[in-house]
C-alpha cells in the first residue's frame, strides 16, 4: 500500500498564454511559453483547486465514505471498494466491518468524502438513534458478510431508522442511495484524483479546450 497522503496537496491552476495549467506549486516560468511568471499578465490569476476531501472527525453527525484500503488520491479505482461509516455528534467514527462494530477516532478517516450531514437541531436524535441501532445484536464480526451484511447494511439501517428526509428515503434502497448520494460525490472527486495523479507523474498538466 502506498504512503497515505492525508493533507491537501494544494493543486494550483492558472492561465497565461493559452491553456489552463495545473501544478503543485506556481512555477517561476510558464511551462507553455517559458516566460518569467513574476512579471507576467495572467489570463486567469493563479488559484487553488478546491480539495474535495474531509477529515471525518471534524464533521459531526455525518455520513462519510473512503476506499476500503488506502486513500482516495493514491489507491482509489472504482466505487466497488468503498467503505461507509457515520460520525457521532462529537466526531467519533462508527463503522461496521469484518472486525464487527467499532467506534474510534482513527486517522484512517482523514481523507473521506462527505455524503451528508444533519443540521444541529437533529444531533441529539442522531446520537440516540445511532446508539439504538448499535445495540442490535446483528452487528458483530460473526454475522458480518462482505456481500450482504456489511458496512452499507449498518449505515442504511441507521439512516432508515433516523427518518431524516430524502437521505433516509434513499437509504431504503441501496442502489438508489448509491445513485443519489455516492456517485455524484465520487464523480466530482474523480476529476481531482486524476488531476493529482497526472501532476504526480508529470509535474504539471496543460488543459486545452477542444
Ligand atoms: Zn505562457
pLDDT band at residue 5 using 50, 70 and 90 as cut-offs: very low
Q: Are residues 203 and 178 in the same domain?
A: no
Name the residue with cell 439501517: 157
**Cα–chain-centroid distance for residue 48?**
18
Q: Are residues 35 and 61 in the same domain?
A: no
Q: For CA atoms 122, 125, 129, 134, give the dihedral sign.
A: positive
Q: Are residues 166 and 96 in the same domain?
A: yes
Neighbours of 198 (CB within 10 A): 15
pLDDT of residue 6: 56
- Residue range 119-135: average pLDDT? 98
**Quick check: helix, strand or coil at residue 204?**
strand
pLDDT of residue 3: 47
State in Å: Cα 131 to ligand 1 middle.
57
pLDDT of residue 210: 62
State in Å: Cα 40 to ligand 1 middle.
8
Containing structural domain, residue 151? 56-188
Q: Are residues 113 and 18 in the same domain?
A: no
State in Å: Cα 117 to ligand 1 middle.
42
> Are 53 and 112 contacting, i.e. CB atoms less than 8 angstroms apart?
yes
Q: Are residues 47 and 72 in the same domain?
A: no
How many CA atoms within 13 Å lie on the side-chain side of 200?
10
The secondary structure element, H or E, covering residue 117 is: strand 113-117
- Provide the domain count of the chain: 2
Question: In this model, does residue 4 exceed pLDDT 70?
Answer: no
State in Å: Cα 16 to ligand 1 middle.
5
- Cell numbers found for residue 119: 443540521
- The residue with greater pLDDT, 145 or 77, is 145
- Mean pLDDT (the chain, rounded): 93
Amino acid at each position: 500500500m502506498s504512503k497515505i497522503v492525508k493533507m491537501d496537496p494544494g493543486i494550483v491552476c492558472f492561465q497565461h498564454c493559452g491553456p489552463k495549467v495545473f501544478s503543485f506549486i506556481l512555477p517561476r516560468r510558464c511551462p507553455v511559453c517559458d516566460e518569467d511568471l513574476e512579471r507576467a499578465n495572467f489570463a486567469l490569476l493563479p488559484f487553488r483547486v478546491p480539495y474535495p476531501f474531509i477529515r471525518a472527525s471534524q464533521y459531526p453527525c455525518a455520513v462519510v465514505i473512503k476506499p476500503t484500503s488506502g486513500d482516495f488520491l493514491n489507491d482509489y479505482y472504482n466505487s466497488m471498494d468503498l467503505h461507509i461509516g457515520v460520525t457521532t455528534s462529537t466526531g467519533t467514527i462508527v463503522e461496521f466491518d469484518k472486525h464487527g462494530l467499532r467506534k474510534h477516532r482513527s486517522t484512517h478517516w482523514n481523507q473521506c468524502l462527505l455524503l451528508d450531514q444533519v443540521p444541529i437541531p437533529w444531533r441529539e436524535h442522531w446520537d440516540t438513534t445511532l446508539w439504538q441501532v448499535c445495540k442490535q445484536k446483528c452487528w458483530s464480526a460473526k454475522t458480518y458478510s462482505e456481500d450482504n451484511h456489511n458496512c452499507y447494511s449498518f449505515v442504511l439501517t441507521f439512516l432508515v431508522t433516523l427518518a431524516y428526509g430524502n437521505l433516509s428515503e434513499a437509504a431504503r434502497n441501496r442502489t438508489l442511495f448509491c445513485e443519489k448520494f455516492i456517485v455524484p460525490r465520487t464523480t466530482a472527486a474523480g476529476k481531482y484524483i486524476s488531476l493529482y495523479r497526472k501532476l504526480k507523474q508529470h509535474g504539471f498538466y496543460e488543459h486545452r479546450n477542444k
